Amino acid sequence: MFKNIHSNIISNNQYWSYLRQNMRDKYKRVLEKYIAPQAVDTIVNWIIDYGVHLKITEERTTKLGDFRPNQHLEKGHRITINYNLNQHAFLITLVHEMAHLKTWNLFKDKVKPHGAEWKSVYREMLLPFLSLNIFPDDIAPALIEYLENPAASSCSDMNLMRILMKYDQEPKILLEEIPSSSVFKLSSGRVFRKGSQRRKYFQCLEISSGKMYLINPLAEVEPVQHLA
Ligand SMILES: [Zn+2]
């Protein structure tokens, strides 16, 4: 039977564009729940164009998100983001990880993860969102200042992080907010007494071991009342 190869190619193309559209719609529906509507199209385009497998995960206390290149992965580059970030922290973290991806595509492992190359890619990717009226009046200037020299994680910029945390639905109690000498518990269950501040961090005494530790002022704490 005579086979029309040409029409076969066209239907293949149509099939792929149908799949892409399907994926686009799926990501759009998911992302609308997590980020500002003005940002959704750009992010979805990046996900499709860069071949990202985006996974929204449980909260991890050690990180807000991460990126793994497609070297050993079947589904493409993988980006994970904690589900419980507020919409501004979610977008900023997602662009942070996307910048890792773009830096990886350009330089592979020849550059440092948060080196000058990543910083300039991150700046270039995040700046356009500042003109979309997404960020409130307190976040925007903190973000602009942060972008002058973006740090490894948005957590390590105390000023930006402190402002971002104000937008969390369940306000957390932070180490910097409780009085000196208070006894508190971290999410790991370890119990400490708050001491004095050294540069950024607080020196805290772990009750069970008697050892001193330096703890981030923005660590979420649970005050412990019954210990004197
Ligand atoms: Zn990073």
For residues 48 and 34, what is the distance between their CA atoms, to the nearest angstrom?
Answer: 18
Q: Which residues contact 64 (CB under 8 A, 6 or more apart)?
A: 81, 82, 85, 89, 93, 153, 154, 155
What distance in angstroms lies between residue 189's CA and the mean position of ligand 1's atoms?
27
What distance in angstroms lies between residue 151's CA and the mean position of ligand 1's atoms?
8
What distance in angstroms lies between residue 8's CA and the mean position of ligand 1's atoms?
44
For residues 118 and 101, what is the distance between their CA atoms, to the nearest angstrom?
Answer: 9
Tell me if residue 160 falls in helix, strand or coil.
helix
pLDDT of 3 above 80:
no
Mean pLDDT of the chain: 88
Output 208 or 72, whichever has higher pLDDT.
Answer: 208
What distance in angstroms lies between residue 13's CA and the mean position of ligand 1's atoms?
36
pTM: 0.79
What distance in angstroms lies between residue 217's CA and the mean position of ligand 1's atoms?
21
pLDDT of residue 8: 61
What distance in angstroms lies between residue 12's CA and the mean position of ligand 1's atoms?
38
Distances (CA, A) of 172 to 59, 75, 130, 184, 227: 14, 36, 27, 13, 21
Q: Which residues contact 18 (CB under 8 A, 6 or more apart)?
A: none
Task: Give strand ranges (E) for 58-165.
Answer: 65-68, 77-82
What distance in angstroms lies between residue 181's CA and the mean position of ligand 1's atoms?
34
What distance in angstroms lies between residue 64's CA and the mean position of ligand 1's atoms?
10
What distance in angstroms lies between residue 136's CA and the mean position of ligand 1's atoms?
24
**Is the dihedral angle over the CA atoms 111, 76, 42, 144 positive or is it negative?**
negative
For residues 82 and 85, what is the distance between their CA atoms, to the nearest angstrom?
Answer: 6
What distance in angstroms lies between residue 116's CA and the mean position of ligand 1's atoms?
12
What distance in angstroms lies between residue 112's CA and the mean position of ligand 1's atoms?
10
DSSP assignment letter at 180: T
pLDDT digits (tens, 9 = 90+) for 89-148: 999 999 999 999 999 999 998 999 899 999 999 999 999 999 999 999 999 999 998 998
pLDDT digits (tens, 9 = 90+) for 216-225: 998 999 988 7
24-33: long-range contacts, CB 8 A cutoff, minimum separation 24: 24/48, 27/54, 30/54, 30/56
Q: Which of 9-18, 98-107, 193-202 bottoms out in mean pLDDT, i.e. has the lowest?
A: 9-18
